[in-house]
Structure formats: C-alpha cells, structure tokens
C-alpha cells in the first residue's frame, strides 16, 4: 500500500469535532496537511502506529445518540434551550455583526469551534435525529448556514452521500 507523504497528517472521522478544528486551524495558517479518514471499526496501521497505547482517535460523544423516545426528546429540548441562551449572549456581545467571522472576514475562533460541532448537522440529522431545530433556533441556524457557505469551511465539510 503506497502512502501519500505529508509533513502533517490529521487522523479523524467526519464526525470528530477535534480533528475538524485541527483541520481548519491548519488551513487558516496555510500549513499543508493530509487528512486520513479513519474507520474506527477497522483502524489503519498508521493510526495504531502513532497511537499504540490507546489505539484510537479522541472520540466525540453525542449524548443524544444513546437516548430514545421521551428521553431523546427531552435532551433535544434542553439543547434547544441552551442554544437560545447562546443566541442571546452572542447577539448581546456581537450586536449587528456576524459572530463567526473576524472583522477581516476570516473565520474566528468561535467560528472554528461552532463549525466543529454544528456545520455537519445535515448528516447528524439524517443519522440520529433532528437535533438543531430550525424553528426554535432560527438565528443560530442562519449563523451556521452562513458559516457553511464560507469557502474555507466548505473545504472541510464531509460529503453528504
């Protein structure tokens, strides 16, 4: 098996907020890198070589994934309420400004953070449940969709196939 060589290799999965943040930060800094999509049920030799102790990448844990029925609905409702508080705080602290971009138009640290959790929502909604309600959190969704349209962010989003 021939491996493409790069000075920086990021091991991750499309759903990992951790590898997503690293990938965006490297792109912002102009550091060339190779992203290796890992199948956690069939880990690559490279991953096992570079992390021989734990033999895994850092997992992203979605509480909602393990819940069902009313418990799931309760978790989604609580998350929606947290997003409302987040929206109010952002509107207070960034009045009239897009919150996920710096004044120069580059993605802000907050934008990188939010992207790593929220920008892959179409896949999460399809795979697990509609977690972010466009009706209950329309402001947040408009911000996230604006972030998803940023060329830098588009480059890092997984294909939705």
pLDDT tens digits for range 40-61: 788 888 777 766 665 655 433 3
The verdict on 78 and 46 lying in the same domain is no
The pair of structure tokens assigned to 28 is 């912002």
Residue 55 covered by a domain: no
State the Cα–Cα distance between residues 17 and 21, nearest whole angstrom. Answer: 6
CATH number at residue 24: 3.40.30.10
The verdict on 45 and 19 lying in the same domain is yes
Query: What are 88-121's pLDDT values in tens digits?
Result: 888 888 888 888 898 888 888 888 888 877 877 7
The verdict on 76 and 129 lying in the same domain is yes
The pair of structure tokens assigned to 130 is 């509609």
Positive or negative, the CA dihedral 161, 118, 27, 1 is negative
The verdict on 103 and 148 lying in the same domain is yes
Please report the pLDDT score of residue 54 as a whole number. 59
Query: What are 69-87's pLDDT values in tens digits?
Result: 777 777 778 778 878 888 8
Range of the domain at 86: 63-156
Residue 1 covered by a domain: no
Confidence band of 62 (pLDDT split at 50, 70, 90): very low
Residue 94 covered by a domain: yes
What global pTM score does this model have?
Answer: 0.59
Q: Does position 35 have pLDDT exceeding 70, yes or no?
A: yes
The verdict on 24 and 78 lying in the same domain is no
Residue 108 covered by a domain: yes
Confidence band of 14 (pLDDT split at 50, 70, 90): confident
Please report the pLDDT score of residue 81 as a whole number. 83
Average pLDDT of the chain, as a whole number = 76
Please report the pLDDT score of residue 61 as a whole number. 33
């Amino acid at each position: 098996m021939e491996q493409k060589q790069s000075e920086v290799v990021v091991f991750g999965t499309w759903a990992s907020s951790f590898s997503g943040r690293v990938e965006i930060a490297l792109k912002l800094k102009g550091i060339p890198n190779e992203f290796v999509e890992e199948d956690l049920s069939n880990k690559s030799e490279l991953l096992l070589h570079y992390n021989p102790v734990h033999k895994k990448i850092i997992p992203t844990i979605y509480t909602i994934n393990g819940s069902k029925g009313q418990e799931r609905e309760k978790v989604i409702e609580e998350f929606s309420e947290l997003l409302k508080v987040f929206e109010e705080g952002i509107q207070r602290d960034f009045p009239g400004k897009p919150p996920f971009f710096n004044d120069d138009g580059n993605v802000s640290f907050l934008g990188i953070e939010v992207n790593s959790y929220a920008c892959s929502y179409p896949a999460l909604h399809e795979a697990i449940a509609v977690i972010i309600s466009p009706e209950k959190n329309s402001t947040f969704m408009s911000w996230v969709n604006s972030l998803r349209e940023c060329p830098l962010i588009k480059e890092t989003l997984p294909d939705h196939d």
